[in-house]
Amino acid sequence: MPKPSILILKPSSLGDIVHGLLVAHTIRQEWPNAVIHWVARDIFAPLVQACPVVDETLLFHRKAGAKAFVRLIRKIQECRYDYVLDFQGLARTGLMTLCARADQKVGRSDAREGAGFCCHRRVSLPPRGRKSHAVDILAEFLPALGLPRRVEPRLPVRVPQVNPAHAPHTFPILIFPESQRPEKNWPFYPELTAALCRDLPSNHIIWAGAGTIPCPQADGGHNFANLTGATTLPDLIALLARARLVVGNDSGPLHLAAALGIPTLALFGPTDPDRFRPYPGDDKQNRVLRAPQGRFAALSATVVQKKIRDIL
């Protein structure tokens, strides 16, 4: 195949896009001259656009209504693809797959909302089924292209210019105190942060994330900055690239940090680390602390603080 053209459908979420980009990187390594297009939600598009693996990003404006969706479909139909890979497997990506002009349309065997019926073939799940890590599930698409089932854990990304407001913070300990689902949120980040500010006075401690979260326990400290609510996705990439350690819940920023090669400490409660921990999960760079019996209330700030000190 002289110059294969591929459309990948993975509009969201941030962590899922990171996992998909790792698989796309394998495709790029095996087929350096491939043309790879990607459909991403507008809020996550800056990450895809920052990744040199992808040649063109097609924007999915989820909240813009039917007319915007029709415009996206028409944009998809402008190209004839060798492969469409539906990494998402939901109704909206199924419709994109159905409307795309492609020789091969490949989807997930666990697709929902009828998306599987829009494909020519569906790839099998790994031996552990839905209990497999998300990257291992997406890696099953590679043999469908005749490529080896292997995924490098690192992702090339063009790091944006640092926001001038964030520039003084060099090699910080970066903390993400929130995830998309409340049950994934460890409740003792304020106590942990106050303790780290006291015990590690020469280290910058930064909170980051999309939503604004106050931390009165550490506010006013000379080595603490609260950037929650003021962190765009390009800001996030730049902050992660400069971090010494990233601490957080099972969340997109943690997965992105791991893909960038930044050491991480993931705090897990009720969700399964085998499925959702930062890839590849070897405990050399990407460590996990799981709450006893999956109960976050049983994982104290003192235990997490000790783990951070051990890592540093």
What's the burial of 168, exposed, middle or buried (CB within 10 Å: 0-12/13-18/19+)?
A: exposed
Domain containing residue 62: CATH number: 3.40.50.2000
Look at residues 107, 123, 144 and tell me which one is the last residue of a structural domain.
144
Rounded Cα distance between 141 and 147, Å, is: 9
List helix spans (H) across the chain: 14-30, 45-50, 66-76, 91-99, 134-139, 141-144, 189-199, 233-242, 252-259, 273-276, 301-311
The reply to whether 32 and 89 lie within a common domain is: yes
Furthest-apart CA atoms within the chain: distance in Å: 60
Q: Which two tokens stand for residue 146?
A: 């005749």
The reply to whether 183 and 266 lie within a common domain is: yes
Q: Is residue 155, in this structure, part of any structural domain at all?
A: no
Strand 245-249 vs strand 264-268: parallel, antiparallel, or unpaired?
parallel
Q: Is residue 139, in this structure, part of any structural domain at all?
A: yes
Q: What residues make up the domain containing 21? A: 5-144
Per-residue pLDDT of the chain (312 residues; tens, 9 = 90+): 578 999 999 999 999 999 999 999 999 999 999 999 999 999 999 999 999 999 999 999 988 899 999 999 999 999 999 999 999 999 999 999 999 999 999 999 999 999 999 999 999 999 988 889 999 999 999 999 999 999 999 999 999 886 766 666 678 999 999 887 888 899 999 999 999 999 999 999 999 998 899 898 887 778 999 999 988 999 999 999 999 999 999 899 999 999 999 999 999 999 889 888 999 877 788 999 999 999 999 999 999 999 999 998
Strand 121-123 vs strand 286-290: parallel, antiparallel, or unpaired?
unpaired
Q: How many domains does the chain have?
A: 2
Say if residues 50 and 158 touch (Cβ distance below 8 Å): yes
Cα of first residue to Cα of last residue in the chain, in angstroms, is 48
The reply to whether 118 and 242 lie within a common domain is: no
Q: Is residue 156, in this structure, part of any structural domain at all?
A: no
Q: What is the pTM of this model?
A: 0.93
DSSP category for residue 159: P
Residues 6+ apart with CB under 8 A from 9: 39, 84, 85, 86, 87, 88, 93, 96, 97
Q: Is residue 290, in this structure, part of any structural domain at all?
A: yes
